[in-house]
Amino acid sequence: MPQRRPQIPNFITARARWLAWLCVLGALTAPVSRMLPADQVPTLQWLVELAAHWQWLCAVVGAISLGVLALARPPGSMGRGWLALAVLALGSSFLWQPAMLPRGAEPSSPDAVLTVGSANLNASTTDFDPLTAWLASAGAPDVVFLQEFTELAHQALMRNPAVAARYPHRLAVPQPDPFGLAVLSRHPLSDLQTLQPQDLRDTLQLRATVAWNGKAVHLSALHPMPPLDEGFAQARDRALVQEAGRLAQTGGLALLAGDLNTTPWARSLFTVEATLRRANGAAPSWPNAFGWLSVLPLDHVLASSGWQVLDSRTGPDLGSDHRPVVVRLVPAP
């Protein structure tokens, strides 16, 4: 006997239909934002990009809504074709992301792996016990980029002997606003540079070079302003392109990391993929709700083509509104 299909009330299918097509429209903003001409119609570009960031939400809510509609439609229904198109739109928009580093093979020696972490600490944080516990742990990264780095965070790190012993090399610039930065390293740092903002849309940048396994690795720490309007969005993209170009000129191993206030579906990371590849995936890192639930992947580690990635993950709950991201890298053979 044929199986009976579940009876789904009309008011549920009607709302699922609205949600499904709303999510499809939201998903399509990602490719549309990249098709709009650069530096033209900036307000439209900014508005479309704001919607494009929410691909995780579109994918999850859209998939649930389409599942409800698929169950509600009888076999052979003409609506199946439209459902297939909606699934294609959701899936292709979600999966169309800037290129990632190729996967590498686990080396025989753990010293051949460079573990890199990036964490936005939240400028309002006052309890840094989770941060110091993470940095003092055996699995802590070799190089750590910190954003929203305040004087309180600086003092917490200075007072902790285990953290001080693990990270003897630092470039730390605490600030009372949300744009202080720090780079902590287990390996020697040189060529330390602090670039102060040039205008009200600009933010602090840090540069350094870490000596690791006989190689020079060029570092750049960024935390651009969130895209509050089209001007801030353009300033963020300009900073990314300029810093990616500078790192490319070094001709060696390079890393750029921080809360970049953009996602893999916006134009920003596509503009630098010729020189810097994503090392971490699309796992969301903001907002950190309940210690596990996030929606937007705003925190990134970008690496030059001389690297391969072994794995990436989100780090522990540090009491911030962001989760840290951690990647393990090896030089390409």
Which pLDDT belongs to residue 1? 46
DSSP 263-315: -TTSHHHHTTTTT-EE-S-S---BS-BTTTB--B--EEEEE-TTEEEEEEEE-
> Mind listing the pLDDT tens digit for each residue in 155-202?
999 999 999 999 999 999 999 999 999 999 999 999 999 999 999 999
Cβ atoms within 10 Å of 183's Cβ, excluding its own: 26
Which pair of tokens denotes residue 143?
Answer: 């190089």
Contact of 287 with 295, CB cutoff 8 Å? yes
Which pLDDT belongs to residue 87? 86
Contact of 297 with 316, CB cutoff 8 Å? no
Nearest CA-CA partner of 193 in 203, 204, 201: 204
Collapsing DSSP to helix, strand or coil, 1 comes out as coil
Amino acid at 7: Q
Which pair of tokens denotes residue 118?
Answer: 């990036």
Nearest CA-CA partner of 10 in 82, 18, 86: 18
User: Whole-angstrom Cα distance, residue 144 to residue 74?
Assistant: 54
Counting beta carbons within 10 angstroms of the beta carbon of residue 66, is it exposed (0 to 12), middle (13 to 18) or buried (19 or more)? Answer: buried
Q: In this structure, are strands 325-331 and 181-185 parallel, antiparallel, or unpaired?
A: unpaired
Which pLDDT belongs to residue 202? 96
List the Cα angle 205/207/212 in 5-degree steps. Answer: 145
List the Cα angle 136/327/153 in 5-degree steps. Answer: 40
Which parts of the chain register pLDDT below 70? 1-6, 73-80
Which pLDDT belongs to residue 76? 47
pTM: 0.93
Amino acid at 311: D
